[in-house]
Structure 1
Amino acid sequence: MNTISLSGLRAPASISIDTWGLAHIRAQNTPDAFFVQGLNAARDRLWQIDLWRKRGLGLLAADFGPGYLMQDRAARLFLYRGEMAPEWAAYGDDAKEICTAFAAGINAGVDLTRTGVWPLPPNLHTSAQHLQNGPPRTSCAFAPIVSPVTPFPNTPARRSMPLPMLRSTCCANP
């Protein structure tokens, strides 16, 4: 069993991996559960998270060459620049806290990789990408990119979704 001390957790939490490779997350409170879920997402899918973040922000050409300039330009044109307060309110009372904890968990995974505690995923070695931390805003802002069935921000369809659907949409492994 490996034990890692991380700032950002309010109480002890754990991830245990069973014989089939499934993660079982245990935490004493909701924010810690989403923090550990974000950490586990980074453990399993750091390369994919970094790629999707760059796709959403229009940063692919820096790593993959000028063939991605038009896609980057389009991504930047469609990037949400509105006020986040109404967005957080539309997702539900605890959405900001959940997404902030989830993003903090991903960022903790990035930091563990940067410091050498976790190995760098092989795909990041070959493409010479530089990992960056992301704000909780990207957890919700990229939800329409992550899931084609997710309504765009602040639509009546999204506001009428049941809370569990919002949690999985807003905080899906980006």
Structure 2
Amino acid sequence: MKYFISVNGQQQGPFEEYELMSQGLTPSTLVWKEGMASWVPASTLPELAAYITSAPVGGYAAPAAPAGGYAAPVGGYAAPAYVQPPVQQPTGPMPKTYLAESIGIMLCCCQIFGIIGLVHASGVSSAYNAGRYAEAEQKSQDAKKWVKYGLIAGVVQYLLLGIFYFVYFFILIGAAASGY
């Protein structure tokens, strides 16, 4: 809510409530806000109680209201129009995150593909909760893709390792048989 104040018979404002402190608001300062019929002392408005400061040492008198009182501020005050942007509602259930699968791939098969899958998987629920369903679906598909790549890389890695040990074993047997 915006407030106008009278300082030395001059209208000042508009001010937010918290800005009134820096304006030297006292209990006798005349205040007006939109919706009020006339100017009133600040002490009569309960919402301004926290912002009222005591008079400075030596004191001063509140300015006298001009003859005929104060009119509404020149030009008036209209609060700016604010329109809440519409929240896009998800168009279906949350897509699968593939979080567990990505962690499994990262730990057991191929770390790099598992980490990439984990990054995509962690974005699924946040995009879905923000109402960006298409983005959540895309992140889910990307996580699934990287889980598959990691699984394939892990299978190839273990097959090559098995072949290596198989060949190594037969070289050892051959060396033992020949006496080396």
TM-score using structure 2 length: 0.20
Structure possessing the higher radius of gyration over alpha carbons: 2
- Structure with more helix by fraction: 1
What TM-score do you get using the length of structure 1 for normalisation? 0.20
Structure number with the bigger relative contact order (C-alpha 8 A, sep ≥ 6) is 1
